[in-house]
Amino acid sequence: MAEVLLERMEQDGAVWAEITLNRPEKGNALNMPMLRQLDGFARDLAADRAVRVVLLRGRGRFFCTGGDIEAWGALGPHEMARDWILPGIDVFTRVATLPQPVVAVLSGHTLGGGLELALAADLRIAVRPAKLGMPEVTLGMIPGWMGVSRLAETIGPARARHLALLGAPVTAAHALDWGLVTAIAEDVEDLEKQAAAWREKLCANGPAAMALVKGLIGGLHADLRQHHAAAVAEAAGTADCREGVRAFLEKRKPEYRNQ
């Protein structure tokens, strides 16, 4: 079974696509094959003029728990930047710059790289029990896929500092108050109802006009790929990061020495 699924759907003449992260046994943690699948799907959708809206989903009780530590934990700084961070940034940028509106439907916890992926969407709706956060600093690492920049653009620098420096997640209600999500659903049934209402509204809007609006907003985003990659490489090269990864794998509290 593929770890990322793409379904093209139609109802009453309206066509939309749903991308589903399909690795529930690992909390939908992202690995390189999943990033490649996402990239291929985004390329296909960018050229599909019939598709009016794209929904991002996660199967199981998590939307996405981030980048799989088994995929990056052993990489050296150079390999980290070249083989993990820059390709991931390219994939998320491709998702963010799709001509269609992208809606992240968060049916569970959304953490680390999972929140970075959700931030690449235009709209986010979360079920009330979901928590959202960027816990990378607890591993001695930093969010690498442009998440810090997108987070600051979305909720402002002060709140971005709160999430990215403390490393503790916030509730969906807190995320709504901050503008990190723009709607909350009481349960999965309500989530589907609200997501369908958004989808129908977006499908009824002018597709070219929405693409132009996305382009105008996206133009505010400077190209910081190399800056982000360099910062992640520097973090990956620290002894603290190596300790954070070991502690995570050994299921113990890390002992950081600022080295």
Point out the residues that are catalytic: 116, 136
Cα–Cα distances in angstroms (integers) from residue 110 to residues 155, 160, 175, 189, 227, in the given order: 16, 15, 11, 19, 25
Is residue 26 within 8 A of residue 4, CB to CB? The reply is no
What b-and-e string marks burial along 201-239, b requiring 16 or more CB atoms within 10 Å of the CB? ebbeeebeebeeebeeeeeeeeeebeebbebbbebbebe
> Residue 255 in 3-state DSSP?
coil
- One-letter amino acid of 112: G
Select from 57, 54, 22, 81 the least CA-distant residue to 207: 54
* Residues pairing with 56 in the sheet: 19, 104
